[in-house]
Structure 1
Amino acid sequence: MTDLTEFRSQVGKNFTSDWMQIDQDRVNAFADITIDHNFIHIDAERTKRETPFSGTIAHGFLSLSMLSYFGAQCLPVFPAGFVPVNYGFESVRFAAPVPVGTRIRGVFTFKSLEERKPGQFLLTFDVRVEIENSTRPALRAEWLSMMLAQA
């Protein structure tokens, strides 16, 4: 995409990333980075004994943090002369656990593009992180991004 008109024409469309494997090494690395070593993420045997899960599960925030990666795979490229900035979320819901060993992907609906002031646009995406072979998504969110004209 090179111009704003073409970019704006993508509003209302759906975009889907590739699948990504959630393995124990990735979950362990996330636990180390975030200092969240809850046993449900790192100890499969204890998780099986003490929870309804059949093994370790990914952190909800790991699934959420993958949105940038998934979006870079499938969302429209920003027009020349603009830079994206993460603005936050209107809502985030963790709907289902992600068992280690499964694959997830991002599904985005480009909901809106609103000019807030000259050279500054607010983008809204409805997002689901799907779990392969599951009817329930790992998460649902309304993700906000700013598109800023470069100086």
Structure 2
Amino acid sequence: MSSLQTAFTQSQALVGTEVGVSNWITVDQEMIDTFAKTTHDEQWIHVDPERAAAETPFGGTIAHGFLTLSLASRFAYDCFSLMTGQVMGINYGMNKLRFLMPVRAGSKLRGRFTLVDVKARSATDLLRTNTLTIEIDGEETPALVAEWLGLAVFKD
């Protein structure tokens, strides 16, 4: 049996189960400011703590939704390692994505992954679909929920 076939069989057995929970990451104002400069999105709700405290219901600045989403890669590093024979993993995109709760500066986030589906796409690729929930420490509602697709690429 090839390593791809073995990985496929092992992955199929995990469909419907939680396959990883990452470590917590603190989203502080410095991270938000750096992201704002990098993306040229320096809207005041992200970068002006005094104005955000005075003029928003959030009590201060909030992270960009795309900053929160961009942490998905870091959360995946905490949760997944290469399978036997796998040479790389490739982000294949999102099917669904919803931002449910703003992330206040100073919040701690973590990612929770549930394997939804796995398909052999070719002789060298597995397409794995995970539900990603990014949780905010102390909040019942998550920051976001997404259906994330990833290609696991194997040597043939």
Output the TM-score relative to the length of structure 1: 0.91
Aligned length: 150
Contact 1:127–1:142 at 8 Å: present in 2 too? yes
Which residue is equivalent to 2:53?
48
Shift of 1:31: 0.6
Q: How does 1:1-150 map to 2 (within 5 A)?
A: 3-4=6-7, 5-14=9-18, 15-150=20-155
Percent identity, please.
38
Is the 2:21–2:79 Cα contact (8 Å) retained in structure 1?
Answer: yes
Kindly state the Cα deviation for residue 16 of structure 1 after the two structures are TM-superposed: 0.6
Partner of 2:91: helix, strand, or coil?
A: strand
Task: Please state whether the residue corresponding to 1:54 is helix, strand or coil.
Answer: coil
Structure 2, gaps ≥5 residues long: none
| 3-state DSSP of counterpart to 2:121 | strand
RMSD: 1.6
Mapped partners of 2:69, 2:34: distance in 1: 15
How far does residue 80 in structure 1 lie from its aligned partner after superposition? 2.1
| Distance (whole Å) between structure 2 residues aligned to residue 116 and residue 36 of structure 1 | 37
Q: State the 1:148 CA deviation.
A: 1.8
In the alignment, is the contact (CA less than 8 A) between 1:105 and 1:129 conserved in 2? yes
Residues 68 and 25 of structure 1: is their aligned pair in 2 closer, same or farther, counting only changes over 3 Å? same
TM-score by length of 2: 0.88
Amino acid at match of 1:10: L
